[in-house]
């Protein structure tokens, strides 16, 4: 039995496969030039980073960084000097297990840590923390719900997490975009997505498994940096006049922008499909419960999963700190890290080609900040000025 994937999003992990060619200086793009203005990180030395989770910039230009193996937020100057660490390891006030996404509501820094949202002054003093323990819904295959962003009105955006077997039972429907107050009460639904979180794998012996969908692993929306709106890419139409819709909703539910953007579909080639199956095989093979050889796993996937004909027009969306909208477009001439920058009203501003392996985390019309790995997979925090 063939399983066709409803193709809406290509994963960042696949689009940014690291064929590392670590260069310095200026990088040319189709209509922009990138000038490296800062690089933080070394293999050995005073500033050694672990994999970067998120980056934001304060009013004074300081870089606030969360890392995979650091139980604090590290603050750097624009010259790359560490000046402050916010929080420490633990589960009490001002303490983190694994700090992740972060951002600003006015002059207050918020940081996600599993089910908890921490709020700090810029100097690192904790203002408040909110822990949301939202129950699951076994009848719908939901194991629990976790906060994904703090919003400007004091509420928190929450997203449910599904058990893989929910896909086999047909329990996963629309994924709601909901906000809760600090008491854990639902106060509003901003919209919904139609995710394909898992792919049911029908194998030759008649058994079924649900595997993580690496083609479209998460819903396609993003909270604006200001926390007052949601950006959504949906309604991809591959008809005679292909287009996708860019939607911007206020956190009160009003439509601020709805724009149909035409595009030229780009066909998925054999090399790209091979890369996808290689990545899929590697991910699933690492799960000891599967119990299949690499060869059998690859064969079963190729026989049961149908890859769509075309790349999606947008693989990722990022909100710029200055109101710009960044869209990671489909691969172009073998280049997969090409972004279109739009104004807050959806008008085209420029195209920016970022280096291979660079993972964009923070941007404005004039700057791009993110992670790029060097030799031995050492992570670097890099900032580019866009000319």
Tens-place pLDDT, residues 357-368: 999 999 999 999
> Is 30's pLDDT higher than 60?
no
279: helix, strand or coil: helix
Question: Which of the listed ranges 19-23, 189-193, 259-263 does the model predict with the highest average pLDDT?
Answer: 259-263
Helix H, strand E, coil C: the string for 312-353 is: CCEEEEEECCCCCEEEEECCECCECCEEEEECCCCCEEEEEE
Task: Write down the pLDDT at residue 9.
Answer: 32
| Residue 138 DSSP one-character state | G
CATH of the domain at 341: 2.120.10.30
Number of structural domains, the chain? 1
Do residues 283 and 217 lie in contact, with contact meaning Cβ atoms separated by under 8 Å?
Answer: no
The pLDDT assigned to 139 comes to 78
Q: What is the predicted pLDDT for the residue at 85?
A: 96
pLDDT at 317: 94
Alpha carbon distance 92, 107 (integer Å): 23
Compute the half-sphere exposure of residue 307: CA atoms within 13 Å on the CB side of its CA: 20
* Close Cβ partners of 92 (under 8 Å, ≥ 6 residues apart): none
**Structural domain containing residue 33:** 3-386
- Predicted model pTM: 0.85
Report, as an integer, the average pLDDT of 53-77. 96
Say what the pLDDT of residue 26 is.
40
Q: Is the predicted pLDDT of residue 228 greater than 70, yes or no?
A: yes
Given a cut of 80, is residue 284 above it in pLDDT? Answer: no
305-338 pLDDT, tens digit each: 777 788 889 989 999 999 999 999 988 787 889 9
266 contacts 330 by C-beta, under 8 angstroms: yes
The mean pLDDT of the chain is: 83
pLDDT mean over 90-104? 93
At residue 50 the predicted structure's pLDDT band, cuts being 50, 70 and 90, is very high
User: For position 346, what pLDDT does the model report?
Assistant: 94
- Give the residue-averaged pLDDT of 247-266: 94
């Amino acid at each position: 039995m063939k399983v066709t994937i409803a193709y809406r999003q290509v994963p960042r992990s696949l689009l940014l496969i690291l064929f590392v060619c670590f260069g310095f200086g200026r990088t040319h793009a189709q209509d922009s030039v990138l000038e490296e203005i800062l690089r933080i990180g070394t293999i050995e030395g005073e500033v050694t980073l672990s994999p970067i989770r998120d980056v934001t910039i304060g009013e004074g230009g300081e870089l606030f960084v969360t890392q995979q193996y650091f139980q604090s937020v590290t603050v750097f100057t624009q010259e790359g000097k560490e000046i402050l660490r916010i929080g420490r390891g633990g589960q009490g006030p001002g303490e983190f297990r694994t700090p992740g996404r972060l951002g600003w509501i006015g002059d207050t820094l918020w940081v996600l840590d599993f089910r908890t949202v921490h709020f700090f002054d810029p100097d690192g003093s904790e203002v408040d923390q909110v822990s949301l323990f939202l129950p699951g819904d076994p009848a719908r295959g939901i194991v629990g719900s976790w906060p994904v962003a703090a919003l400007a009105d004091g509420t928190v955006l929450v997203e449910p997490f599904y058990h893989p077997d929910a896909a086999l039972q047909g329990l996963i429907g629309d994924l709601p975009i909901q906000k809760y107050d600090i008491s854990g009460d639902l106060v509003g639904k901003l919209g919904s997505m139609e995710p394909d979180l898992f792919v049911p794998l029908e194998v030759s012996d008649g058994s079924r498994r649900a595997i993580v969908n690496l083609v479209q692993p998460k819903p396609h929306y993003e909270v604006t940096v200001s926390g007052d709106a949601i950006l959504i890419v949906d309604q991809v139409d591959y008809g005679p006049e292909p287009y996708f819709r860019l939607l911007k909703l206020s956190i009160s539910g009003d439509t601020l922008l709805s724009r149909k953007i035409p595009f030229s579909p780009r066909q998925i080639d054999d090399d790209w499909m091979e890369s996808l199956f290689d990545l899929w095989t590697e991910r699933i093979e690492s799960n000891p419960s599967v119990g299949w050889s690499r060869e059998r796993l690859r064969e079963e996937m190729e026989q049961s999963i149908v890859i769509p004909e075309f790349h999606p027009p947008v693989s990722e969306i990022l909100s710029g700190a200055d109101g710009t909208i960044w869209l990671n477009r489909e691969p172009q001439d073998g280049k997969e890290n090409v972004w279109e920058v739009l104004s807050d009203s959806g008008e085209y501003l420029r195209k920016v080609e970022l280096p291979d392996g660079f993972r964009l985390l923070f941007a404005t019309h004039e700057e791009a900040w993110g992670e790029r790995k060097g030799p031995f997979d050492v992570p670097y925090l890099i900032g580019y000025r866009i000319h």
